Amino acid sequence: MKISLDTVVKTFDTFRAVHGVSLEIESGELVALLGPSGSGKTTILRMVAGLEYADSGKIYFGAEDATDIPVRDRGVGFVFQHYALFPHMTVAENIAFGMKVSKVKRGKQEIAARVADLLRLVKLDGLGERFPSQISGGQRQRVALARALAVDPKVLLLDEPFGALDANVRRDLRRWLREIHDELGITTLFVTHDQEEALDLADRVVILKDGKIVQQGTPEEVCREPNSPFVMSFLGDTNRLPATVANGEARIGDATLPAPGVADGRAEVFLRPGDLDWAVEGSGVAAKILRVIDHPGGRRLLVAPKDGGALELDVAPEIRARAGDEGYVAVRRGRVFAA
Amino acid sequence: MSASTDRKPPRIGEQPAFRRALIATVLVVTAFFIVAPLIVIGMEAFSQGWAVYAAAISDADTRHAIMLTVVTALIAVPVNTAFGVAAAWAITKFDFWGRRLLLVVIEIPFSISPIVAGVAYLFVYGLQGLFGPLLQAHDIKILFALPGIVLASMFVTAPFVARELIPLMQAQGRDLEEAATSLGASGWRTFFSVTLPNIRWALLYGVVLCNARVMGEFGAVSVVSGNIRGQTNTMPLHIELLYHDYQTAGAFAVASILAVLAVVTLVAKVLLERQGAGRGGRHPALATPQPAMTAPKLATEKST
Amino acid sequence: MKRRVLPGLHLTLGLTLLYVSIIVVLPLGALVYKAASLGFVDYWRIVSSGRSVASYRVTVLCALGATAFNLIFGVALAWVLVRYRFPGRRFVDALVDLPFALPTAVAGIALTALFAPNGWFGAYLAGIGVQVAYTPLGIMVAMAFTSLPFIVRTVQPVLEDLDPALEEAAQSLGGSDSIIFRKVVLPLLTPALLAGVSLAFARSLGEFGAIIFIAGNQPFQTEITALLTFIRLEEYDYQAAAAVASVLLITAFVMLAVTNLLQARALRYTQRA
């Protein structure tokens, strides 16, 4: 089911407002709403679900105007941030709840069979008789998903689905959710503040700030072509350096970077640590190493350019470097934005 | 917590002498101040033997008072419970203008002398009250009759159920109800199969306390009932009447029934607190400072 | 009205407002209206009459005495229940609520039986020249009995949640137990204590059932304001009853405001800590 939002507006007394958001989610797509807290991403998700009503604007499910359809009848599967599992019901009863209250009457056996299928799908066979308090966080998350899927939703909506889980459980569940999505092909929209999660999981990432969409695209597009300093810094570590732009080129030290479309004058260069290299001799920005931090996958150098400021760069493990060494920072790529 | 305190450095006030002296003092005062009144009721009730006790209990006026008290409770408690549940649902599941004010108004009866409540009802339904002439013209009796007693009882216990439910439902949030609704459940279905099972102990707790207060209410009922022996006397009023009639043993006999009710209430309270009712079992039965009630959070939103 | 996601707002809010209007607001409004219709001169004459003023004095002084007793005993009781483990602790903990569970009239006759000159305690106290029943002392006993749980139950949770690290810090800085209690523990308890005290005091001001049996009810001596209201009613002096009741009502509202203020402060304090 394709979902479209047409200039949706929602204001609160608090800051979690949404200011005219338009968005298309293709049928079968897995889309992440990514943004810092207060960016309005959960509000958008809840409006798609029907858990909030928009002040103005329209929400379409396929060709149908769903703006005024109450959540009961909207046919969405919603996975709550803290799962909202009914604590007094077993796992199986939780999953069966939506089928039991449905207007479509199902027999006991049919429901039981479907619950068993879903338990298998979420890899929780044999845990049906447990209560939510008797299973782990990751298992609860999967129960919440199975419960949402049980009603054959047109779209699946997840609010910070992995927010409350340990780092390694998160990673496993992410991959697993992707598999489930690919298997079922259900249109899925999820909210996260974790860019790694969004990039890892989604077909398309919608980045929000202050209730507005600032950029959307595939993970590749947003990573390679961030359209603003905000997106650039939100997606990962960056170095910022002042620079001067002349004739479509920005100059830092000996190096130049293409700056298409940036007006001449003062600008700011954004450099990912991985976009920089260290060489004892050569060209680039002359600098001195302040500290070296070693990781399993490489080394991070904290350096002080001669012209002032500070840079961090990620280099290969083989690079020889020690605090106090002097050399050059080579700039492989970077983004230039008008200051 | 302190089964193993011996192995830890002492906290303050742990010196054995001080500790023992303080425990002993508190126990003695408690015995004189709280336990003794309970014992004296039993002793006085049976001071003239079983026969007198049995006679006092089975006296027609006493039986009528018991009946009236039970009937009052049977009306006032369920109505109050319905109100408490409705108020808690409205206040915790929605944001609306004036919500805080409504909370304060619901709490008002706790702060008001029962006598004032009784007098207030007099000025609504009494002959000199707002509706008095109208009621008399239609020959409807509210004061000095069952309706007045029930109304006054409802006033003094209005906050009982609501105040047990509101903090709990506030803390539980709206996720469960939203989840049930998103799965297609109707409002009633959501309430009965999702909300109610999670508030049942607190609800029962409120009902038990409400019932104890309704059955024991004296001041407010004494103003509106007219104290007509064998007609509008509830048990507490009947105790007063017997007491002033110098039928002390009879008064204490009736009092002993209410004392048993009080003990049963306390036992029920402890049991319900073990189920997690009464906000961790650490709050006074009938009135507590309850920040959750006077300052509910207005935010509906989860993190964005 | 805005559209709501969860159902039932109109039903539940409607029911709530209806109930609150009929049961709470209407009667109190009628009382205020009645008192206000007296006119200032008559109103003032009634509420400032010698007997009225004497009843305020008795009520307030006895409530102060009872609250002072409960302040000391209540804190000691809460302390013992939270800090020490001893046989019967849970039993005592449950008993603390007895004054709430026991109907006031029952408490009244029981306390009278204990403290009357021929009662268990009264006889002994008479031997040392102290009379409790039918004196202001008796009123204080009844007030203290009915309001004890307020202080215990407000202090208890705060005492339980007190971070042991605070005491440990004070101990590591070399404070003696009594200094730590006065300088560290007591200040942290103070907001809860004030809230409990105001609740207990308010309850004492309005108490009726437990007091009238033990008080003796002599005008100017042992007649509390609630009883004076009742007596005016029995004399069919409804205007006077309305006026005196309105004084109690205003006092209740003032105490309610004070209590809410103290609780709000108490809350801020705990959250900061």
The CATH number given to whatever domain includes residue A294 is: 2.40.50.140
Tell me what pLDDT residue B278 has: 77
CATH of the domain at A9: 3.40.50.300
Place of tokens 């961030």: A226
pLDDT tens for residues C50-75? Answer: 999 999 999 999 999 999 999 999 99
Chain A residues within an 8 Å CB radius of C2 = 53
Q: Which residue of A has its CA nearest to B177?
A: A84
| Least confident residue range of A166-175, A215-224, C24-33 | A166-175
CA distance A62 to A110: 29
Average of pLDDT values for C130-156? Answer: 95
Which tops the pLDDT comparison, A159 or B292? A159
Å from A48 to nearest chain C CA? 12
Beta carbon pairs, B and C, within 8 Å: 335
Interface contact A49-B301, CB threshold 8 A: no
Are β-strands A326-331 and A285-295 bridged in parallel, bridged antiparallel, or unpaired? antiparallel
Tell me what pLDDT residue B9 has: 67
Q: Are residues A226 and A97 in the same domain?
A: yes
Buried-state track B134-146, b at ≥16 Cβ within 10 A, e below 16 = ebeeeeeebbbbb
pLDDT exceeds cutoff 70 at A196? yes
Q: Are residues A146 and A178 in the same domain?
A: yes
Tell me what pLDDT residue B289 has: 34
Average of pLDDT values for C225-239? Answer: 93
Q: How many domains does chain A have?
A: 2
Pick the residue of B169, B183, B298 with the most A CBs within 10 A to test the interface with A by mutation.
Answer: B183
Q: Are residues A254 and A284 in the same domain?
A: yes
Tell me what pLDDT residue B282 has: 37
Name the stretches of chain B with pLDDT < 70. 1-9, 279-304
Is-contact A328 A284, C-beta < 8 A?
yes
Q: Which residue of A has its CA nearest to C2?
A: A53
Tokens of C265: 């402060």
Give percent of chain A above pLDDT 90: 73
pLDDT exceeds cutoff 70 at C160? yes
What does residue B152 show for φ and ψ, rounded to 5 degrees? -65, -40
Å from A139 to nearest chain B CA? 18
Q: Which residue of A has its CA nearest to C3?
A: A53
User: Amino acid identity of A251?
Assistant: R
pLDDT tens for residues C98-116? Answer: 999 999 999 999 999 999 9
Å from B102 to nearest chain A CA? 20
Q: Are residues A82 and A100 in the same domain?
A: yes
CATH fold of the domain at B49-294: MetI-like fold (1.10.3720)
Tell me what pLDDT residue A33 has: 97
Taking the CA of residue A178 as centre, how many other CA atoms within 13 Å lie in the half-sphere pointing to its CB? Answer: 15
Split at pLDDT 50, 70, 90, the class of A155 is very high
Give percent of chain C above pLDDT 90: 77
Q: Which of A161, A196, A231 is the last residue of a domain?
A: A231
Q: Does A160 touch chain B (CB under 8 A)?
A: yes
Place of tokens 């008002």: B108
Question: Looking at the partner chain, which of C154, C185, C229 has a beta carbon nearest the beta carbon of B288?
Answer: C154
Q: Cα B303 to the chain's mean position, in Å?
A: 38
The DSSP output letter for C173 is T
**Taking each helix axis from N to C terminus, what angle separates B114-125 and B146-157, rounded to the nearest 10 degrees?**
140
CA distance A58 to A77: 20
- What is the interface pTM, i.e. ipTM, of the complex? 0.91
Are β-strands A3-10 and A255-258 bridged in parallel, bridged antiparallel, or unpaired? unpaired
pLDDT exceeds cutoff 70 at A307? yes
Is-contact C256 B108, C-beta < 8 A?
yes
Q: Which residue of A has its CA nearest to B189?
A: A101
Chains linked to A by 3 or more Cβ pairs within 8 Å? B, C
Chain A residues within an 8 Å CB radius of B184 = 72-73, 98, 101-103, 151
Place of tokens 């437990």: C210
pLDDT tens for residues A310-322? Answer: 999 999 999 889 9
Architecture category of domain C40-272 in CATH = Orthogonal Bundle (1.10)
pLDDT exceeds cutoff 90 at C187? no
pLDDT exceeds cutoff 90 at A283? no
Interface contact B33-C144, CB threshold 8 A: yes
Among the listed residues A284, A298, A272, the one whose alpha carbon sits nearest the alpha carbon of residue A326: A284
Tell me what pLDDT residue B292 has: 34
List the beta bridge partners of residue A24: A4
pLDDT exceeds cutoff 70 at C87? yes
pLDDT exceeds cutoff 50 at C168? yes
Q: Are residues A156 and A263 in the same domain?
A: no
> In chain C, which ranges are E strands?
none
Interface contact B302-A81, CB threshold 8 A: yes
Q: Are residues A176 and A93 in the same domain?
A: yes
| Least confident residue range of A159-168, B98-107, C233-242 | A159-168
Chain A residues within an 8 Å CB radius of C3 = 53
Tell me what pLDDT residue B284 has: 36
Interface contact B13-C5, CB threshold 8 A: no
Pick the residue of C4, C5, C6, C9 with the most A CBs within 10 A to test the interface with A by mutation.
Answer: C5
Q: Does A309 touch chain B (CB under 8 A)?
A: no
Residues from B contacting A (CB-CB < 8 Å) are: 175-176, 178-186, 189, 193-194, 197-198, 298-299, 301-304
Among the listed residues A44, A67, A88, A124, the one whose alpha carbon sits nearest the alpha carbon of residue B176: A88
Tell me what pLDDT residue C267 has: 66
CA distance C224 to C269: 36
Chain C residues within an 8 Å CB radius of A51 = 5
Q: Which of A231, A258, A290 is the last residue of a domain?
A: A231
> What domain range includes position A170?
3-231
Taking phi over 0 as left and psi of -120 to 50 as alpha, with beta for the rest, A311 belongs to beta
Residues from A contacting C (CB-CB < 8 Å) are: 50-53, 70-71
Which residues does A255 contact at the CB level (< 8 Å), separation at least 6?
A283, A284, A285, A330, A331
Chain B residues within an 8 Å CB radius of C235 = none
CA distance A129 to A146: 15
Question: Looking at the partner chain, which of B175, B184, B299 has a beta carbon nearest the beta carbon of A101?
Answer: B184
CA distance A69 to B209: 42
Average of pLDDT values for A55-74? Answer: 93
Interface contact B108-C15, CB threshold 8 A: no
Q: Determine the 3-state secondary structure of A61 from DSSP.
A: strand
Interface contact C2-A50, CB threshold 8 A: no
Å from C269 to nearest chain A CA? 25
Tell me what pLDDT residue A168 has: 84
CA distance B175 to A217: 31
Q: Which of A231, A247, A268 is the last residue of a domain?
A: A231
Which tops the pLDDT comparison, C193 or B10? C193
CB count within 10 Å of CB A333 equals 12
Q: Determine the 3-state secondary structure of A6 from DSSP.
A: strand
Q: Determine the 3-state secondary structure of A240 from DSSP.
A: strand
Interface contact A42-B304, CB threshold 8 A: yes
How far apart, in Å, are the Cα atoms of A196 and each of A29, A211, A224?
Answer: 18, 21, 15
pTM of the model: 0.87
List the beta bridge partners of residue A64: A61
